[in-house]
Amino acid sequence: MRRRNRSQAGVTLIEMMVVVTIIALFAALVLPKMIGQADKARKTAARAQINAYMTALGSYKLDTGVFPTTEEGLQALRVKPENANNWQGPYLQKEVENDPWGRPYLYRFPGEHGDEPDMISYGADGQPGGDGINGDIVSWKN
């Protein structure tokens, strides 16, 4: 009776290999999809940040009559520029953040795409152009 209890109490090598194989297959199928979701989330976050900055820039323009210049940049939303009349800021609750890849947003006014400023995040590669995760996120396209 003692021998039978010992053999039933343990896990065989084959059972362990089956469990490890199932875990490996699960990881191989799920992890690539999860990584793709993280990249998609970064692009969505960049788009949301750009939209928030554009809203703050709109408030700035309503108060001062003009958008901040390229030289003043987004910092004008937090700290009053010298020549800003009727500045009612700060227009942002917290400091100007970098894009989700850790690089500053490119801000230009006057912009090249209409009467509003241009804001750009160059995506994961930090270079103009690109597709997918490396694609540019810009203020003039949704």
Rounded CA separation 117/69 (Å):
9
- pTM for this entry: 0.73
97 contacts 86 by C-beta, under 8 angstroms? no
Please report the pLDDT score of residue 62 as a whole number: 93
- For the chain, the domains span 40-138
Residue labelled with tokens 């940040």: 49
Q: What is the pLDDT of residue 125?
A: 86
Domain 40-138 in CATH 1.20.1260.10? The answer is no
How far apart are the C-alpha atoms of 117 and 108, rounded to whole Å? 6
* Average confidence (pLDDT) per 10 residues, the chain, 142 residues: 57 86 88 77 92 93 92 92 87 91 93 88 86 87 74
- Which pLDDT belongs to residue 142? 65
Burial of 101 (C-beta count, 10 Å sphere; 0-12/13-18/19+):
middle
Alpha-carbon torsion (39, 134, 139, 109), positive or negative: positive
- Tell me, what's the pLDDT at 26? 86
